[in-house]
Amino acid sequence: MRAKLEKPFLGQVLFLISVFVASLLFTGCQDTDASHAAADLETCKLRLDEQKWTKAIAACEGLEGDEGKHLTAIAYMGRSGLTMVTMLTGLSDSSNTPTTLIFEKIPDTAAKVSDFKTALNKIMGEIEVKTQSMYLEAVLLSSLLIFKELKTLLGLTLVNGEIGTCAGDPANIDNCSFAPTLTEVYNTTYAKNVPGNVVFSGLGATFYQGICGDLTSDVSVADSTQDTTTVVELSLEDDPEYGTVNVDVTYDVTVDSAQIGAGSPLYYNKIASEAYAVSGTVDLSSLNFYGRMDTGTNFSKIISPLPAIAFCNDGAIALPEASDDTLNDCEILSFLENPGF
């Protein structure tokens, strides 16, 4: 038995069409904004994919979770021209050295420094579970911030793929404006030149603020001043003419020192370098600045045939110690003699 059709009903048809059109009008065509966390995250990713960095920062900032914070860091890096793909492919080429490769990325404006600091702080200070990629990024970011201070201090230049310093080639730190001096004087007792005056005015607070200061606050830089005449016993046992002698050395020295802040570029450089070295795919040992700065090596100068005169003696100025998370000028001067680039 067939169902019997009811009579045509124009109003019914019009009603249906009206429902159809009204449905479109009332529901709207599209949603206007994200309504849940995953949508916010996706918006952030889309802006990143478009490489619209400022919009990406706006979309990513405030995202919860490690992924969101990492994406925010990427946005800040991107805004200041740092992308890992360029760095990584360069680093993976054995003909490149990490230091020369990142030299051109050294931040040259306050805005870039701020972006890199923010990115580094996001990665190392906020992300709870870090991946190797994140450690890699942290090594590079911290190195760039440290490099920026070194560039200022040492007047770094890149010529023919080689990084030059104020020390020149061959390196002699005496060529740098901040170089300490050790003046020798003629000693009539021994009829010989002996160390006389040690003069050094310190590397200054700015350098330490840049590498040891927390990313969000300044670090306290201490000045230790020694302005005394110190009797230094020097052994010349190998020289039958003199044997063991005592010489007077006058110190006019100001040595700056600073505790490495737990949120500083150098501290993050230490943590990230150690973590990345475990299983990293690229050799970044040359960017482990912490490992080559906090060595406890005391800067000294030699006046032949006398042995070295240390600039930090055990008097008014504390001797540097390795891996104590404290830096002073004596350690840094030693580092600057052989910075490794």
Partner 1 sequence: MSKKVLTLWISLLLTVGVPVAVNAIEYRRIGQDYRSLAMGNTGIASANNSAALFYNPAAMANIFTWWVDLPFLQVSYSDDAAALYDMAQNGSFNLETQEDQINFMNDFIGQNPFIKLDTGANLFINLDKKGLTVAANYTYEAVLDIEVRNPSLPEINSFIRLDHIRQTGVSIPLGLGKLVLGVSYKVIERQELDFTYDLNNALANDDFPTLDENGVKGSGSGYDVGFLYRTATTSRIMIGGVWRKKISLKDATDIPEEYALGLSTLHSYGIFRLVTAMDWRDITNQQGSAGDKSINRRLHFGLELGILPLSKNTSWITLRSGYNQGYFATQPIESYNLGLSGVEIALGHSLILGYTKYIEETGEYAGQKPSPRTVIYLSLGF
Residues engaged in binding partner 1 (CB under 8 A): 1-9, 12-13, 16-17, 19-20, 23-24, 27-39, 41-43, 45-46, 48-51, 74, 77-78, 82-86, 88-89, 92-93, 132-133, 136-137, 281-282
Question: How far is residue 125 CA from its own chain's centroid?
Answer: 14
Q: How far is the CB of 21 from partner 1 (least distance, A)?
A: 10
Residue with smaller CB distance to partner 1, 14 or 322:
14
Tokens of 288: 């482990």
Residue with smaller CB distance to partner 1, 274 or 325:
274
Q: How far is the CB of 92 from partner 1 (least distance, A)?
A: 4
Residue with smaller CB distance to partner 1, 46 or 262:
46
**Strand locations in the chain, DSSP E?**
157-159, 162-164, 181-187, 192-200, 221-236, 243-259, 300-302, 308-310, 326-328
Contact 40/63 with Cβ under 8 angstroms? Answer: yes
Side chain identity at 241, as an amino acid letter? E
Residue with smaller CB distance to partner 1, 24 or 302:
24
CA distances from 316 to 195, 196, 223, 254, 279 (A): 19, 18, 11, 10, 43
CA distances from 266 to 29, 39, 78, 152, 165 (A): 52, 36, 22, 16, 21
Q: How far is the CB of 312 from partner 1 (least distance, A)?
A: 42
Q: How far is the CB of 283 from partner 1 (least distance, A)?
A: 12
Residue with smaller CB distance to partner 1, 31 or 238:
31
* 218-222: long-range pairs with CB below 8 Å, 24+: 219/258, 219/259, 219/261, 219/264, 220/258, 220/259, 221/256, 221/257, 221/258, 222/256, 222/257, 222/258
Q: How far is the CB of 125 from partner 1 (least distance, A)?
A: 19
Residue with smaller CB distance to partner 1, 36 or 241:
36
DSSP state of 29: S
Residue with smaller CB distance to partner 1, 279 or 304:
279
Across the strands, what pairs with 158? 163
CA distances from 197 to 55, 109, 121 (A): 59, 40, 44
Q: How far is the CB of 161 from partner 1 (least distance, A)?
A: 17
Tokens of 266: 């150098």
Q: How far is the CB of 278 from partner 1 (least distance, A)?
A: 13
